Structure 1
């Protein structure tokens, strides 16, 4: 069992695309956390919700030479200046 984070909301049981996205996020070392480390604020972090979003970010990471974890965490990968 893996701790996915305090803000993890599981996809529906039959949502294979959603579960594939969760597996990719966790495999990249990311968690579903939105809390600041000091506990004084909250900033929701983006995580892909479908396998299509994960595929898109994998292609962009390979094309730009950026770490997959950084690309998976990017809200709009086309707008990043990485």
Structure 2
């Protein structure tokens, strides 16, 4: 596994630092990326053999709450 990358995302005048951790399962050829918003909020996506990216795991409904807070702050 490689060192995590941090992306800075500015959405609705709020700055977010999102840690991205990538991994490749060499047995089944799947790519996995986890986007960590903070210690309690994450989404993991996967892509297998050239197929589409899919959400395979996330931190319960906390992500919906976090994204909803962003929407609530919009004018």
TM-score normalised over the length of structure 1: 0.28
Higher strand share: 2
**Higher RCO, Cα 8 Å, sep 6+:** 1
Q: Return the index of the structure with the highest Cα Rg.
A: 2
TM-score normalised over the length of structure 2: 0.30
